[in-house]
Amino acid sequence: MNALEFDVKELYPLYILRGGDAYLKDGVIKKIKSILPSESFDIDYIRFEEDAKVSDIVSAADTFSFFESKKVIYFRAAYGGKLAEADKTLLAEYAKNPCAATVLVIDDGASLFKFLEKYAQIVVCDFPGEGFVARWLKNLLTAKGYDIEPSAASLLIKYCGTDMMKIHVEAEKLTSYASGRIVRDSDVTECVAPDTEFQVFELTNYLAKKDNKNSVRIYNILIGRGEAPAFLLSMITSQFRRILHTMLSDLSDGELAALFKAKEYPITLARRLSANFTKLKVKKIVDNLALNEYLFKSGALSEKAALELSFSYLLTI
């Protein structure tokens, strides 16, 4: 189930949230919390952070509400952590026979809880695709009495790096700016600052087309924004590594995204860019960028010099 389609009409005793979009996760949690009576909210909504003991979580989940209503337990699992076998057994035993009054929600960003999937409802909190989000965005604005042109919706999604939280915030802002109650491309370009990852994609796209004028323009925008040279070099290197992996791997975009611990949409964009390169050329680029990163990290070059050398190479290769 996609998070945008989540409904509380039929609640399950156990939910596992997958993906990294904070907006979508927050939306799911808000909907589940809405079942709690106001008088019991402070008692019957319990949040556990990643350092919590599994035994404490299970104990809280297995206890009925004082107000004889539902109880919501939210556990944000550690990203990249490990789960002891004893804790797996404890959770599995609870999942087989959950407390009827409890809704347990596990935020499983690292996919540690696959062993519970047969007992749980999985809610995917990742970018659901540009078409789906464009329809959601149109409905969001329609409810406020506004419309958005399809091209403007696509541009806004790309500018926000598919971050649903940012898309929502920027959409709210655009409603106070758009004339005629219609959001157009010009509104987005004037009001919304493009996400750094999107601009790195733009930069790579122009480099692939040998459009040095626009490549330099985007590069100067990123530098002028005050982005750290080391961060930009890392972003550019990651982009070309993604391109190389899409060219060499048989994995799907979703599988590659999991491998890179990234959203799926940037992988899709990288695959689109790969059509403009040969494997040998991308391999040379990745090797050069990796060398400059090494020289910077080892102290042989400043981060600014490493970035400038890398960008000069990309303009000429």
Each residue's pLDDT tens digit, 105-162: 999 877 789 999 999 999 988 877 788 889 989 999 999 899 999 999 999 988 887 7
Whether the pTM exceeds 0.85: the reply is no
The runs of H, that is alpha helices, within 84-191 are: 85-96, 130-142, 150-159, 164-175, 185-191
Q: 65 and 98 share a domain?
A: yes
DSSP label at residue 2? B
Asked whether residue 12 falls in the same domain as residue 85, the answer is: yes
Q: What is the CATH number of the domain that holds 53?
A: 3.40.50.300
- Domain membership of residue 182 as a residue range: 130-191
Confidence (pLDDT) at 265: 75
Q: Is the dihedral of CA 226, 229, 231, 235 positive or negative?
A: positive
Same domain, 288 and 265: yes
Q: What is the pLDDT of residue 310?
A: 94
Q: Are 239 and 260 in contact (CB under 8 A)?
A: no
H helices of 112-263, in order, are 130-142, 150-159, 164-175, 185-191, 196-208, 212-224, 229-248, 253-260
Model pLDDT, residue 311: 92
pLDDT value, residue 80: 65
Residues 93 and 150 in one domain: no
Total domains, the chain: 3
Domain endpoint, select from 84, 103, 124 = 124
* Phi/psi at 71 (5° precision): -125, 140
> What CATH number corresponds to the domain at position 208?
1.20.272.10
CA separation for the pair 116, 93 (Å, rounded)? 10
Compute how many other C-beta atoms are within 10 angstroms of the C-beta atom of residue 131: 12
pLDDT in tens, 261-291: 777 777 888 888 888 889 999 999 999 999 9
Q: Is the CB of residue 19 less than 8 Å from the CB of residue 126?
A: yes
Q: How far, in whole angstroms, is CA 222 from its chain's centroid?
A: 21
Let me know whether 223 and 185 are in one domain: no
Name the β-bridge partners of 124.
Answer: 2, 18
Q: Are residues 105 and 186 in the same domain?
A: no
The residues facing 147 across adjacent strands are: 182
CB–CB of 66/40 below 8 Å?
yes
* Under-70 pLDDT residues of the chain: 39-41, 67, 80
Q: Based on the domain organization, do 113 and 165 belong to the same domain? A: no
